[in-house]
Every structure is written in C-alpha cells, then in structure tokens.
Amino acid sequence: MKCVALTFDDGPGAHTERLLDMLKKHKAKATFFVLGQNVKANPGVVKRAVVEGHQVGNHSWAHPSLTKLSAASIHEQIARTSAAVKDATGRGTDSVRPPYGAINKNVRAALANEPDAHVILWSVDTLDWKHHSPAKTLAAVKEQTRPGGIILMHDIHKTSVDAVPSVIEYLQSQGYTLVTVDQLLASEHPQSGKVYSHLG
Ligand code: NI
C-alpha cells in the first residue's frame, strides 16, 4: 500500500476542530505534534483526535529549542506534555518532534531516557507557517511527496487548515492512503532517541 503521513505541529488551536471535520469527511488519519500548554487549554479537541483514530505526539510544553536546554529541562518539557495528553485522553504521547526539528547528541541522549520518545522529523516541508498560502502548500506537497513520506504542516494557522482539503484530494487521487506516523512505522521497532523522517 502506498502510504503517506500528514502531521500537524504546534496545536491544538482555534482551527483544529475544523481540521478534524475535514479529516473525518475524507476518511484520512493524521498525527498531531502538540504543545503541552495548548493541550492544557484545549483538552477536549485532543481527546476527540484520539477517539477519531489520530495519533498524538509530543512537541514539548512551550516550544523551546531543546538543544539549548539541560537534560532536566528537556525531561520537564517532554514529561509534562505527555502527562497533559494523558489527562486529556487516557494515554501519554507516543513519539517526539523537537521544536524546529532541532536535535543534537545531548537531546538524543535525554530522549533515550524518556518512554515512547522516538523522534519524528519530516520529508516534506510545506513552509505553510511562512507563506500562509494554501496554493503554495499544495505545490510543495505535489513536488516533494514520495511513498512513505512525512508531511509537515501547522494547524494553528487558518491558511494551513484551508489547504487541507486540496492536499488530501491530491494525495488520494495519486493513490495514497493517509495514515498516522505509527502506522507508517509499523514495520519498525522505534527506539527512544532514534530519529525517523521518512519510512518505506
Ligand atoms: Ni513547532
């Protein structure tokens, strides 16, 4: 099966509920790399995402660059977020996407001590946060997506969520099934601290 994973960072936010409606309508699954502080403010939408079969990963509590933090502070950013997700959904986060994709030896070592903290980066960078253009987001997806790809978007921006129907319709027209990152990783045995950006 030809699969691809849509991922949404920095939420949940004001547009996440509308995004979940779109995913449901198109029978597509996605992965949300959430900020703990936003989960605390919007626990209901995170619960809905899990109930509807989406994956919830960890994007830290407040979006610092983990490469600038001590091991103890990295632990706090990750563990506090996972606890907030557990409060909202009944289970903690199952993977980590470091803010800015910033990772080094110290971050990998710190994450290796956390449960369920394999690192998910991406292979398709839509730059949606920068141009705020649904047309440019779709163009980036068309240009960069390959089977097993991981697409980076941000559900805190209205224009990013506006792009989603055209992105899903394009991918499905190309024969892709939209799955969670966990589903993409199904043939792997992901390890905490190990980095994945493309599967298959
Ligand atoms: Ni981010």
Point out the catalytic residue in the list 15, 54, 118, 154.
154
Compute the distance from residue 38 Cα to the ligand 1 centre, in Å: 12
Q: Could you read off the pLDDT of 92-129 as tens digits, one per residue?
A: 999 999 999 999 999 999 999 999 999 999 999 999 99
So what's the pLDDT on residue 103? 97
Q: What is the pLDDT of residue 188?
A: 83
pLDDT one-digit tens code per residue, 123-149: 999 999 999 999 999 999 999 999 999
Q: What distance in angstroms lies between residue 101's CA and the mean position of ligand 1's atoms?
A: 8
Helices (H) and strands (E) in the chain, counts: 9, 8
12-68 pLDDT, tens digit per residue, is 999 999 999 999 999 999 999 999 999 999 999 999 999 999 999 999 999 999 999
Q: Of 120, 191, 129, whose CA–CA distance to 150 is shortest?
A: 120
Residue 99 CA to ligand 1 centre (angstroms): 5
pLDDT of residue 186: 86
| pLDDT exceeds cutoff 90 at 175 | yes
Q: 25: part of which helix (H) or strand (E)? A: helix 16-25
pLDDT above 70 covers a percentage of the chain that reads: 100
Q: CA dist 1 to 4, 125, 168, Å?
A: 10, 23, 16
Q: Is-contact 181 35, C-beta < 8 A?
A: no
Which tens digits make up the pLDDT trace of 150-173?
Answer: 999 999 999 999 999 999 999 999
- Residue 3: pLDDT band (50, 70, 90) is very high
Using the mean position of ligand 1's atoms as its centre, give its distance from the Cα of residue 199 in Å.
21
From 9, 94, 128, 155, the catalytic residue: 9
User: Over the chain, what is the mean pLDDT?
Assistant: 97
**Average pLDDT of 3-9?**
98
Residue 200 scores a pLDDT above 70: no
Question: Residue 154 catalytic?
Answer: yes
Q: Has residue 79 got a pLDDT over 80?
A: yes
Q: Is 184 helix (H, G, I), strand (E, B) or coil?
A: helix
